Structure 1
């Protein structure tokens, strides 16, 4: 006689703490294999995102002018002469022979958003594939393809706007596979009370990629020409691909160099959450799950904020302060270094709060609120402080820094509510949020073209409203308990 029994699939907080205390200190150290793995993912994310966003800074050098009806007025403070190495009213010349294009803000918006069309097609699929065939193959192939397409982007631009848009769409396919396909790694490598910090270390590479590409993109464009920005970051991506395929393994069991004690620690901490058995996706249950929808809507609203920061910071600074490409890169990159630090520290803070008996859902919501509400408020205030560039950069830095606290909140919440299907859910939520990456450049380009004087105000107010609505939905419906449909079904023989 048999009886069908549903196991909880989750470990109590107190039980996890007792397990952690029994484990040897060396297992929990930063020099462990799992933290080394997080660092590798960190740098691969750096390369992947840098290849995505270099278009946003090089656009300043690719077009004849991005200063369409400048927002400057009599009260606006110009950047001081030689503040960043030269006067800014007369931009330094770019290298001779570098192609320039006559693209309006609408055309630029279409180019910016085209990469997202590809990403939206592959994010959920990549999460599912990674859970089935392994993150190593899925993410590694995606990074290689993205690197090759980055190398080909200048050639595509030479062939015309249609060729460039098609290349960007195909590039987006590889970007989506890489972004959505990496979360399955932490199903097998992330002990529950270390997931916040491990995921934060890995995901913070995306912000460091934004910083690196924005900073160096300006210098490279001015010194060598904008095509070399794509060549250099594409080449770096190929190098990181080599390290990925050599050093990364899908689970501790298959890793050849992991210590026995660390392997036992990881496996014992996950044995109640993950099973090697393959079960079909409960699609109907997922579609009816309000916690899942709260992830999607909150990720969408936060992605709207991030796209405003990443895509339009160089354009905003260029239009308000009329700086050259190199100085624009420095000013646009500065906010992201604080964001990188905050992203890593936020994961440690979340895990620290868990050790102080905070409920898991409380920690996730605190991190999400801090990463959404203040960050969007500081951006909304930018048009009212543009008379002082120091205040503008300060507000951007604070907003970027706070926004990354969501890495320890909503972005890893899928690992809490459905660890068995977390890679698929993370891909779905990121695919849903990618709609924002498509809409932001199109809507912003339209608003700036229609009303240059008030276009930025409309853009930032719309961003704040969307961000607030997504946050409220997550606060009401977000959960951190493993959902019934995500619990493993086992047969127990009596």
Structure 2
């Protein structure tokens, strides 16, 4: 991508009156409907829906893949659970009926736990490299290849399962490697595409595809397992990801300047509003989180546009809203006992309210260092992925005796992490561009940006 001409840069930097202009610099804002930036958000939404569906489908398909009648070591059908099954489910076999000839495997609970956690071992490794490379070479190639590689590897799941659990573990870890670059790449792209007053809504629309994909994949996986057999799940979902990648590479560009179908008005609006910030830059809870994150994004942008609070205050406000109440709901789950309705209700509320943090800490990287946004998200997402690696294993140890006390430990630890993270960010977080993120030739533009940010 060619940088803007030196003439346009010098003109922008020498305009003394710009300090007194509104953030957009122009009262004319091209409509979002059918715009290139909204189309990009929708396509990202679909991409994250696909990859998160690929991430969670194994957790449902595993029920059909495992032969629950096997009596090998590690299986004890006489273990009593703390809570009775809901009425009417006593005669359930606990597995999906499979078409004749569909293979099943004698994997014990420990093996299943490792297979479900394998994805995160790979996902953890590509967060920082994905953000760094996306900032330097453009996010579209890394996001597209991340989804494509994850989808293509998913097609090999039935073969890897047939070869054995070690092969399937390796395959899932490789899928994690591919998907690990997607969120950092998304952030690097929005650093070049999202106007300041539309950042929250565009980023939350695209990122919320993760919740929607998980919401859709869970019931769909169960249906496909029963109707066609569990291998069909991975063939169809993997094929959908490959199809999405074709559309992505056909219609997406790293920068509005190089987009072939964008209008001149929209291109000028995005470029002028971002200025020198371009650079190197279970199913119901997921649905609730998706809806809440999208609505929170619109609300956050509205508060910023109306100058109700500063950007820093808004980021902290939404972070606290998205982390403290869910901690309380998690503790409520811990003490809901065997009431299935209350348990689902509190889990849904916890996931829904957690979506409010999307326009908070999640997009803060683009506020403090736009040119390094993808790289920074890679760092934060890497640390955020660590619980995904250890959670299945730790949960298994806490709940190995199937008692309510063991599950309470799980929810207490989760709530404590939420509270600790919320207060740490409130104390040390900022929504201002940091001096270390500004190049020498960007100093004057950055000062104007900080002045505008402080004025809001």
TM-score range normalised by the length of the shorter chain: 0.7 to 0.9
Name the counterpart of 1:344. 294
The CA distance in 2 between the partners of 1:114 and 1:195, in whole Å, is 33
Q: Which residue of structure 1 aligns with residue 398 of structure 2?
A: 447
Native 8 Å contact 2:25 2:272 kept in 1? no
Give a deviation string over 1:304-336, Cα, whole Å, max 9, x none. xxxxxxxxxxxxxxxxxxxxxxxxxxxx21222
Alpha-carbon distance in 2 for matches of 1:89, 1:407: 42
Contact 2:125 2:382 survives alignment (8 Å):
yes
Instruction: Say if 1:232 and 1:452 are closer, same or farther in 2 by CA, change over 3 A.
Output: farther
Residues 274-423 of structure 1: pairs in structure 2 closer than 5 A: 274-275=278-279, 332-357=282-307, 358-423=309-374
* Cα distance in 2, alignment partners of residues 213 and 93 from structure 1: 16
1:475 aligns with 2:426: yes
Partner of 1:34: 37
2:410 is matched with: 459
How many Å apart are 1:450 and its aligned residue?
Answer: 4.9
Please tell me the root mean square deviation across aligned C-alpha atoms, in Å: 2.4
Q: Secondary structure in 1 aligned to 2:22?
A: helix
Give the alignment partner of residue 64 of structure 2, picking from 61, 64, 76: 61
Query: Would the aligned equivalents of 1:16 and 1:193 in 2 still touch at CA under 8 Å?
Result: no
The aligned length equals 417
Equivalent position of 1:429 in the other structure: 380
Structure 2 counterpart of 1:114: 118
Instruction: For 2:20 and 2:79, locate their aligned partners in 1 and report how far apart those are by CA, in whole Å.
Output: 59
TM-score normalised by the chain length of structure 1? 0.79
- CA–CA separation in structure 2 for the residues paired with 1:376 and 1:229: 34
Give the whole-Å Cα distance in 2 for the aligned partners of 1:456 and 1:265. 52
Mapped contact 2:326–2:415 kept (Cα < 8 A) = no
Q: Tell me whether 1:266 sits opposite 2:276 in the alignment.
A: no
Q: 1:225 to 1:386 in 2, by over 3 A?
A: farther
- In 1, Cα distance between equivalents of 2:269 and 2:276: 13
Q: Residues 460 and 22 (structure 1 numbering): CA distance in 2 closer, same or farther, change over 3 Å?
A: same
Change (3 A) 1:270 1:21: closer
Equivalent position of 2:154 in the other structure: 150
For the 8 Å contact 2:64–2:96, the answer to whether it is kept is no
Counterpart CA distance in 2 for 1:341 and 1:69 is 39
Quote the residue 1:128 is aligned against: 132
- 1:236 Cα shift? 0.6
Q: 2:258 aligns with which of 254, 257, 282?
A: 254
Cα deviation, 1:72-128, whole Å, max 9, x if unaligned, reads 44xx5x5454xxxxx563247511333333333332221122111111111110111
Q: CA deviation at 1:153?
A: 1.1
| Pair 251,454 (structure 1): closer, same or farther in 2 beyond 3 Å | same
Structure 2: state its 5+ residue gaps.
1-12, 69-74, 444-456
Deviation per CA, 1:185-225, whole angstroms, max 9, x where unpaired?
01110111111000000001011111011121111122222
1:57 positional shift: 1.6
8 A Cα contact 1:143 1:237, kept in partner:
yes
